[in-house]
């Protein structure tokens, strides 16, 4: 059974190199609250690769962003919960009420070992102009709030959101709804392709539940030292 995260930092291991991912997992997992593995890694190495990196006890955020008809998404949630047992699992909230409910119901079948179902709202690489380009006239924050409310009403445990929407989501969705926040950049680090960012302390102060941090940790000369610094700053 996977452990409860010891702190709020989930380190994103974004590589397809299995040996490098395993080495990073071993170095970081004793310090970080958990590990995040996503589509690129999963497509390359499957459940076996995920288990090789995270083992059976390290808290795991499996970021596969399921988005399909309700029955198919429910099947994907069941398969992940049975064979990988992630702590958290993502779906696209834009898949609609029936799809969200199907994912939540499938997760509930696993009782105490069920993964938290998190709705992806607006990707942190997108801003208002990007939304308009795909036919969404709402501003990013308005769309995030709309999809978060939809997710909460249909059984999701929380959402993925950018740092900029944390406070608004807390006001709308309450204190128990999980807010998992990528787009976190420590002071002085490169923003990369993230457009809506904050520092770890800013995000936690605003009300984030968990932070997802990738390149500032995994791209550092000493990843374990980098995550240790962030965790220490948050504890202080």
In angstroms, the CA 131 to CA 97 distance is 21
Q: Please, which pLDDT band fits residue 125 given cuts at 50, 70 and 90?
A: confident
pTM summary value: 0.93
Evaluate if residue 203 carries a pLDDT over 90: yes
Which single residue is written with the structure tokens 């978060």? 148
Set 65, 85, 132, 178: catalytic member = 65
pLDDT in tens, 72-104: 999 999 999 999 999 999 999 999 999 999 999
How much is the pLDDT for 236?
85
Q: Which residue has the higher pLDDT, 186 or 5?
A: 5
In angstroms, the CA 217 to CA 12 distance is 8
Average pLDDT (135-160) is 95
The yes-or-no answer on residue 65 being catalytic is yes
Angle at CA 159, nearest 5°, toward 90 and 1?
Answer: 55
> How far is it between the farthest Cα atoms of the chain?
45
In angstroms, the CA 182 to CA 187 distance is 15
Question: Which of the four CATH numbers 2.70.98.10, 3.20.20.70, 3.40.50.720, 3.40.640.10 does domain 9-235 have?
Answer: 3.20.20.70
For 205-229, give one letter per residue: b (16+ CB within 10 A) or e: ebbbbbbbbbbbbbeeeebbebbbb
Average pLDDT (177-192) is 77
Share of the chain above pLDDT 90, in %: 86
Lowest mean pLDDT among 149-153, 185-189, 194-198: 194-198
In angstroms, the CA 54 to CA 86 distance is 10
In angstroms, the CA 92 to CA 165 distance is 17
How much is the pLDDT for 121?
92
Per DSSP, the three-state class of 120 is strand
């Amino acid at each position: 059974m996977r452990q409860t995260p010891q702190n709020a930092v989930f380190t994103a291991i974004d590589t397809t190199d299995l040996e490098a991912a395993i080495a990073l997992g071993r170095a970081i997992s004793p310090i970080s609250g958990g590990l995040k593995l996503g589509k690129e890694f999963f497509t390359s190495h499957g459940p076996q690769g995920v288990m090789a990196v995270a083992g059976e006890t390290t808290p795991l955020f499996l970021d596969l962003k399921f988005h399909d008809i309700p029955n198919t998404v429910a099947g994907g949630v069941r398969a992940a919960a049975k064979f990988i047992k992630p702590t958290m699992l993502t779906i696209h909230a834009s898949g609609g009420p029936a799809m969200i409910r199907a994912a939540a119901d499938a997760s509930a079948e696993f009782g105490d070992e069920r993964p938290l179902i998190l709705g992806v709202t607006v990707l942190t690489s997108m801003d208002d102009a990007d939304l308009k380009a795909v036919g969404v006239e709402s501003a990013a924050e308005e769309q995030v709030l709309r999809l978060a409310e939809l997710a909460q009403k249909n059984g999701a445990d929380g959402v993925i959101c950018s740092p900029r929407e944390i406070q608004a989501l807390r006001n709308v969705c309450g204190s128990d709804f999980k807010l998992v926040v990528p787009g976190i950049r420590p002071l002085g680090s490169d923003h990369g392709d993230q457009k809506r960012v904050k520092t770890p302390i800013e995000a936690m102060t605003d009300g984030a539940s968990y932070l997802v941090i990738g390149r500032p940790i995994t791209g550092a000369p000493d990843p374990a030292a980098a995550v240790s610094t962030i965790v220490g700053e948050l504890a202080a």
